[in-house]
Amino acid sequence: MKKLEQIYEGKAKKVFRTDDPERFIVEYKDDATAFNGQKKGTILGKGSINNRMTNLLMQMLEKHGVPTHFVEELNDRETVVKKVEIVPLEVIIRNISAGHFASNYGVEEGIVFEHPTIEFSYKNDDLGDPLINSYHALALKLATKEEIDTIIRLSFKVDEVLQEFFLTVGIKLVDFKLEFGRTSDGTIILADEISPDTCRLWDKDTNEKLDKDRFRRDLGNVEDAYQEVMSRLLAKSAEK
């Protein structure tokens, strides 16, 4: 497959067209941003870790019946994915209070929920990704009712599979963000990435933060944290 021109550059990834009209190539960068792009930096080795971690987790999700955009890892930083039109919704699932849940509702971080929560943001940088509900998403024609139902069902399934898996490597899956896409035949599949950039991951025993909060909050050892998660995942997948 031939990598053709770049069609998009986001905060953490570039997307390229290929000679196959149904495939894109994603390239992961070491660039990191937070607070809607106000804080910028580099996390050395992040691109490679996020690429490999996303691919590993997406392949696991496929086995559990969650359709994803993953096709083939090309190298450390590049992956072939199915071409999709991204649904402009950021889906956030939470198992434990943290981040905006804690600040918006005035509770401490670390409260374990009896049932996970789901929320949507309208993916729009100019508006600052405002929080919306599914009725707003319908009114804004971001997705159909059926698509929203599918997205909700798949998101909770992702949570179930990933929570269980992360626990086996001593990590609590606190919360995470997902994005979905539509293939050319209209199927909704999981797209984007699943990495310490998009998940809050806490060590099961110490609650040490092993994710992008180390960058957002200047906690230090950012690279080490990403590497630690990746090492645990690789050790686990080598067991099988």
Report how far residue 140's alpha carbon sits from residue 149's, in angstroms, rounded to the nearest whole number.
16
| Partner residues linked to 22 by β-bridges | none
Q: CB nearer to ligand UDP: give 55 or 198.
A: 198
Query: Binding to ligand UDP by residue 180, rule CB under 6 A?
Result: no
**Residue 174 dihedral angles phi and psi, to the nearest 5°:** -75, -55
Stretch that binds ligand UDP, among 107-115, 169-177, 183-191, 222-230 (CB under 6 A): 169-177
Radius of gyration of the CA atoms of the chain, in A: 17
Query: Binding to ligand UDP by residue 198, rule CB under 6 A?
Result: yes
Q: Which of residues 120-139 bind ligand UDP (CB under 6 A)?
A: 129
Query: Binding to ligand UDP by residue 212, rule CB under 6 A?
Result: yes
Q: How far is the CB of 5 from ligand UDP (least distance, A)?
A: 27
- Annotate 164-232 with DSSP letters as a single string: HHHHHTTEEEEEEEEEEEE-TT--EEEES--STTTEEEEETTT--B-STHHHHTT-S-HHHHHHHHHHH
Stretch that binds ligand UDP, among 39-47, 65-73, 193-201, 226-234 (CB under 6 A): 193-201
Query: Binding to ligand UDP by residue 176, rule CB under 6 A?
Result: yes
Quote the distance between the C-alpha of residue 191 and its chain's center. Answer: 8
Residue of 38, 13, 155 whose CA lies nearest to 93:
155
Q: How far is the CB of 175 from ligand UDP (least distance, A)?
A: 4
Query: Binding to ligand UDP by residue 116, rule CB under 6 A?
Result: no
Query: Binding to ligand UDP by residue 200, rule CB under 6 A?
Result: yes
Query: Binding to ligand UDP by residue 12, rule CB under 6 A?
Result: no
Contact 194, 57 (CB under 8 A): yes
Interface ranges with ligand UDP (CB under 6 A): 90, 92, 98-101, 129, 175-177, 198-200, 212
